[in-house]
Structure 1
């Protein structure tokens, strides 16, 4: 049996989104050292300071010598955490602005331009707090040498926050999965078929909060779970570095 147009479209959309997300994350990881160097140059006020960077090569040498390899990845967590919400906000607000502009007699090209401008401004407002945190971390020239207890709590907090944010972003998809896999409302009639159509149906019939059912237990499981995974990874990696 051939797949319907909506299923094929959704499958193509999901593949495209998956590729876009992975591409963005890889780009962040590869290009972040240049972003750190860029930030250091931008906040540098006096070139006569002996600790100031003279050139691109000099900045790379000084950061590596004084802060180690991880100095190039200071502040990488905020852009990684912001990537998915940023994309979601941009696409969602773009569609909403288009709908609002539909009530005004504008040409399609102008409608798209204004909607794009509005979504870009909204995205900037949402992402700005992450950027502030990122720049603050990148500006710090100290090595990652902290009190062991504070370092443990810092890593646990980062893992807990990451797991919580991931749960909030992921829960609508989890609800859709449960509706599709679970018993249908009317026996013999398949109401929930595809992911995004299921989410739209739940939203229309039960409201936005229905897409967040089960959020608390999911956070209670994945929040601490993310913290534990990060801690196990960090300390295992450190142990292997020291002993192998």
Structure 2
């Protein structure tokens, strides 16, 4: 039987932070490949990546293995607050909605609503870090590091430019979290109840992986336009080609075809599917540890 007794916020924060950093250390090269594929625009004269494997191969051959980890400082700095906010906000919003609707137990529609709201909450934390990461991952990037991106962006575009892509990020996180937490709720209800730690880990890995996969299907189009919006350096008096999420969706679809909205899908789903499983296993494991520590003292 799973112990679900509530524990103080700081334990949720540290559990989310540990889970997020664990996931990114394992999965980051897939994120670099995903971003490279998303930033490719037809008709620019560049030889397009034929596949995820072609992208991996060309990056390693032309730029070196270390390039697959370029920009990792930004997401590592981001992952602790991002994942901590994701899980703690999901728990807190769940409490709020159960109180508002006068229900005791979580349902799947409530899990979807809670996940979407947590995703929007999370977006305000992650946008500046995402912008730095995207600009460092770009093949043509001239930035020397995290500080250089922040300094030049603020100098050339203003402080608020660090929040370019906020709208697209909110839509991306709302759809991913809604799919992730909604599917986790459903899959957990279908799996046999765990009676041992091994069975609990198995259930978390299965439900988290499936949840991450579905969340990726829903959010990838918003992720594609988010990457392009955040990689666009704004110039005074010039309207950016990629500026707002919904118009950018139509621009990409019209100019490159609907499937262009799913560029980088394979490395993204390979990261966020199994990555979602890793997140859930590490998070629940940490929560169980902290819960045991808290109630034993």
TM-score grouping bracket, smaller chain normalisation: 0.3 to 0.5
TM-score (norm: length of structure 2): 0.38
